[in-house]
Structure 1
């Protein structure tokens, strides 16, 4: 394997780990038709290059009582660098925010949040998000039912994949090889709910 192109075996390794990151090295080697030693060497190289970012456990939100998923659109008063940085830091501290995207269009940010119930969503919006300095408006929409959800990236083992260099400020430059298995970190997904929207002010707390 080169440092710039992933071959068919590399991609097979990635696809197997995307389906089940709990495979032992012996199991993984058997599935990609390698002996354990070169298989482990490839995995460590993929980790070093940042192709494998981390290994996680995907938890079932319904079993854990996390039944509401909402998509929240945020508009800031000013889209200046300081406001963006302050908002990003504040959002990073909210554990119920599963994803956050800087957007084009009418809203500045799109959040995907997961909470146990509507009361928890109201508390998140009114007591936390709306209090972030610079937030001008908030509009939330609740998911009624998850129709499709994928965690597997579409990479074709029949075609070589060229690794794109990481941005120097992304924090994902080439790194030391890790041990074969990192401690898993939990992630949630899924949910149900209804529609809701609001614009924050100091006199109202409704959706």
Structure 2
């Protein structure tokens, strides 16, 4: 049995399925952790959520965290408007994938699934979060600072505030080669987002997965049907 983590799917269903089925060859004895951002920007947000829910329903050990895009979509659908939802190019593919005009028209089962997503997952050797933490705060406050946990783009890592555990996160795209190089060093904190959705950018356009026990990185090139997206 193996443990894997990946992140920032952004509607890239074909690429994610290739990772799970062809590269990792996930079994029900394995565990897969996802670090958030399943929706927006890419072509098939609904398909990604359907597949994740299907894996969970059929006995696969798939554990999903909340990302800022998931949180923003949920807020928009429930008219909370505490967060600015992504701009038109980012949200229209999401609405189109559900066949709706407004986020509030997304079927309740999807919204309930998003609403149940935790902000972090704690393992014996890792803490998983979407973006990171404000390590200047006391540990108890740090892990209730949900805005930072979902949106921070930089932090100074302090393992002592995570009980000596390493940190895995996504949120900020990094060149795929950089993710591989950093993982080989087994650092205290590792960002796994290699910008899968940015299919026109040859430095990104990869979905990265880390084996939490061997530190091996598996990367799958974006293999979605053509869709409009910037190079970032």
TM-score (norm 1): 0.21
Structure ranking higher on relative contact order (CA contacts 8 Å, 6+ apart): 1
Q: Which has the larger radius of gyration?
A: 1
TM-score (norm 2): 0.19
Q: Which has the higher helix share?
A: 2
